[in-house]
Structure 1
């Protein structure tokens, strides 16, 4: 299964890409400034969120602060059209596979994109090291 990293060329996106390479996780990277997400792609991402647009839209971003728009009064389609036109409204990176979405780079959370058998092996290794430390 291939992971997709949607990013804005920021430090967090670069960290996520390096992590994928280091852990040999197949991925593709897409710069959202060069190729903005379509309204349909944004809808697919929203299906994976817990809190909808609050999970993926950055209220600290420059476009959010400078666009003279009351985002709360927009319909979902209107909002997604604006996000399509202004990709910097999105948090970065958005890391996605068929079932999971991670917003931003987090060293612990990104582990979810490892294949299950590798996660299990790492967990068992951690358990042995921490619960049964060698004496010496």
Structure 2
């Protein structure tokens, strides 16, 4: 099952939600301001990142700009506490299932959440179209 972590005023979150609905993919939506991420959820997200916490931090957010500590100096537990206490530090949307993660909305990358069968059909259609174009 896909989980979509959002905030109410986030345009990218609305795009991600609309895309999942258009694809008829079931998902659980969680507003991180009404239900802050738990430490376990943050750990799960971090376990799927390639670059760790830097992928998760919203460096342009007001919360980050006004931080009185250097995130690099924090222990993992302190960082988890900070993310739980200040959800606006977290980039959104966060889309994940048991194997895949996307932070932020990217129209190409979000396609990884389509079932493999659908991606194979779409790829076959692209190849068919290219073959038609080449023969014309």
Counterpart CA distance in 2 for 1:126 and 1:85 is: 46
Matched, 1:98 2:73: no
Counterpart CA distance in 2 for 1:130 and 1:16 is: 29
SS of the residue corresponding to residue 67 of structure 1 reads coil
Cα root mean square deviation, aligned = 1.3
1:8 alignment partner in structure 2: 7
Deviation sequence 1:89-112 (CA, Å, 0-9, x none): 000000000000001111100000
For 1:1-136, what aligned pairs fall within 5 Å after superposition?
2-9=1-8, 10-133=10-133
SS of the residue corresponding to residue 4 of structure 2 reads strand
Task: Name the TM-score, length of structure 1 as normaliser.
Answer: 0.94
Gaps of 5+ in 2: none
SS of the residue corresponding to residue 125 of structure 1 reads helix
Deviation at 1:46, TM superposition (A): 0.5
SS of the residue corresponding to residue 126 of structure 1 reads helix
SS of the residue corresponding to residue 124 of structure 1 reads helix
Gaps of 5+ in 1: none
SS of the residue corresponding to residue 72 of structure 1 reads helix
**What is the aligned length?**
135
